[in-house]
Each structure stands twice: as C-alpha cells, then as structure tokens.
C-alpha cells in the first residue's frame, strides 16, 4: 500500500461548509437498446477548501459525474434527475442544472473551472500559449486587458514554468508542460472550484509527481477547491483530503483518505487499494517458481 501523504499546509482554510451539494444526480445515455444509467442516484458534498478525490475503474461514472457538474454533457447523454447546488463566493446559491446558458457562461472560468483529461489534445495547436490565456481571460474580464500580459507571466511562474513559454506553440512543450499551462489557465480568474479529470494520464512517473505537487499548491496557495478524478488510487493517496469511490454509477464509499486506505468499508474499495503495485512484488516471479520442478 502506498504511503498516504496528503496533508494540509498550516493556515490553509478548510471548513465543513459545502461549496457544492450533489443530490440524487442521475445521468443516462440513450442507446438503440434503451437508456443506460451512468450516474445512478449520487449524493455528494464538496467542502470549500478541500481536495476531493473521485476514484473508480473506467466506466464507473467518474467523468460523467464531472461533465454533468460542469454542464458539459453532450448527447446521447442527458441528466435524468437531481440537482447540483453551487455556492460561489459573494453570490447566492444556484442549481447548476437549472441555469440558462447566459448565467452559466458568467460562472465558467470565474467561479467554475475545468482541467480536462488529455493535455496533448486540449490546446489549440496553431495558437501561442499567451494567446490561449488571453482568449479565456478577456472573454470574461475585459477590464483586465491592460494587465493581461503581466498576469500570464505571473501565472506561468506560479506553476513552475519559464515566462518564455508564453511565446511557444503547444507542439514545443512536453506533456507535463502542457498540463501545467492548462492548470495556469484554469486558475487565471481565481475560481472557487477546479475539476481535474485524470490529470496525470499519459505522463511518466517523475512528471506525475510534479503535477500532483502543482495541484496541491493550487489549493494551498490560492484557496481553490479541487475535485480530482482518477482511477489511480496512488494519486489519491498522495494528494486528496477525502476520497469518494464510485462503482457502477453509484458512490459506494466516502471518507477521509487515511481512513479509507486504512479501513476500507466496501469490498470494491478494498479491491482498488489491493490493485496498487507494491515495491518488490512481481507476480510473474511466483508463477515462474511454481513451474520449476
């Protein structure tokens, strides 16, 4: 079992106040053989200031839950029922599923942001990095036009990148650099919530560590609430405060990450934890030994 190292920096605010409350959320996909439930009656609270992990194998409903929360769901998927109550700073609570497009657009990036899966394909290949920042910032905050270049340089430094990256095209960046550029864009307007979908996919282990540290810094330095979606329980062990485990479209267990790893309550959670490779463990060696006469 990996060491569970997620820890809060002293002084970082974490409260029991819910930033998001998901209630009886149901998301279905239409098929020629009838509707298929992908998220089936999920109840989940996201506390302000925390890093919440959502774990589960492929097909468990993790990403569908995220895109429903962000109102990015596309046909044949549709929300069959439930509500998602969001409490942005300085504004009254809203049900994200009931907002019209104009009000939803006003919340995106400024209060609700997304770090998509697959950094390789999430940037415009024919635009310089700085122009991609400007697109997001000026679309929502035209009053920052005179400050945008200084903002871009500051944001790049905050995720550990050189200011010269602003002049580059995406093909000139490594996978880890692209992921950090997307992180910087996602926090440019200081949102309340960032949803990161499989942020370490397709990255080598050394870069994964850098990305996880950068994600932790977003919360600790800027007070951003993070939802981290990953099938990798090792990622959750290193990063999150609490973890919610999904299985067949339902949340089967939620708890403090240390408690979940030490005393998992659901058999599926236990199986996920046991699937993590252990140092020195090589099943093929045991198989070889068993064949030796």
**Domains, the chain, with CATH or none:** 1-111+225-275 (3.40.50.300)
User: Per the structure block, which two tokens stand in for 194?
Assistant: 């960032």
Q: Are 51 and 240 in contact (CB under 8 A)?
A: yes
Q: What is the pLDDT of residue 249?
A: 96
DSSP lists the bridge partners of residue 115 as 196
Q: What is the pLDDT of residue 12?
A: 44
Q: What is the pLDDT of residue 213?
A: 86
Q: What is the pLDDT of residue 176?
A: 85
Kindly report the pTM of this predicted structure: 0.86
Q: What is the pLDDT of residue 276?
A: 78
The separation between the first and the last C-alpha atoms of the chain, rounded to the nearest angstrom, is 33
Q: What is the pLDDT of residue 76?
A: 96
Q: Are 73 and 28 in contact (CB under 8 A)?
A: no
40-94, pLDDT tens digit by residue? Answer: 999 999 999 999 999 999 999 999 999 999 999 999 999 999 999 999 988 899 9
Q: What is the pLDDT of residue 283?
A: 57
Which residues of the chain are modeled with pLDDT < 50?
Answer: 6-12
Q: What is the pLDDT of residue 165?
A: 96
HEC readout, the chain? CCCCCCCCCCCCCCCCCEEEEEEEEEEEEEECCEEEEEEEEEEEEEECCCEEEEECCCCCCHHHHHHHHCCCCCCCEEEEEEEEEECCCCCCCEECCCCCHHHHHHHECCCEEEECCCHHHCCCCCCCHHHHHHHHHHHHCHHHHHHHHHHHHHHHHHCCCCHHHHHCCHHHCCHHHHHHHHHHHHCCCCCCEEEEECCCCCCCHHHHHHHHHHHHHHHHHHCCEEEEECCCHHHHHHHCCEEEEEECCEEEEEEEHHHHHHCCCCHHHHHHHHCCCCCCCCHHHHHHHHHCC
Radius of gyration of the chain (CA): 20
Integer CA distances (angstroms), 222 to 74, 91, 216, in order: 31, 19, 10
Q: What is the pLDDT of residue 104?
A: 92
């Amino acid at each position: 079992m990996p060491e569970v190292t997620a820890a809060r920096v002293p002084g970082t605010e974490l409260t029991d106040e819910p930033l998001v409350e998901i209630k009886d959320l149901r998301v279905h996909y239409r098929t020629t053989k009838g509707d298929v439930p992908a998220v089936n009656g999920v109840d989940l609270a996201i506390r302000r200031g925390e890093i919440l992990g959502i774990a589960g194998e492929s097909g468990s409903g993790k990403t569908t839950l995220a895109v429903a929360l962000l109102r990015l769901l596309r046909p044949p998927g549709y929300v069959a029922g439930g509500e998602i109550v969001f409490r942005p700073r300085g504004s009254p609570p809203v049900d994200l599923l009931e907002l019209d497009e104009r009000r939803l657009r006003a919340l995106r990036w400024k209060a609700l942001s997304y770090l998509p899966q697959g950094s390789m394909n999430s940037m415009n290949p024919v635009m310089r990095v700085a122009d991609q920042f400007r697109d997001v910032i000026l679309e929502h905050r035209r009053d920052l036009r005179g400050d945008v270049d200084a903002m871009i340089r500051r944001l790049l430094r905050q995720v550990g990148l050189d200011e010269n990256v602003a002049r580059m095209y995406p093909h000139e960046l490594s996978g880890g650099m692209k992921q950090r550029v997307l992180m910087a864009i996602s926090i440019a307007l200081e949102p309340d919530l960032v949803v990161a979908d499989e942020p370490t996919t397709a990255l080598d282990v050394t870069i994964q560590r850098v990305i996880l540290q950068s994600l932790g810094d977003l919360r600790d330095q800027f007070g951003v609430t993070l939802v981290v979606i990953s099938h990798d329980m090792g990622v959750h062990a290193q990063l999150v405060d609490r973890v919610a485990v999904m299985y067949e479209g339902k949340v089967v267990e939620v708890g403090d990450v240390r408690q979940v790893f030490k005393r998992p309550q659901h058999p599926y959670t236990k199986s996920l934890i046991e699937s993590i490779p252990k140092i020195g463990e090589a099943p093929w060696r045991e198989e070889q030994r068993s064949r030796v006469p």
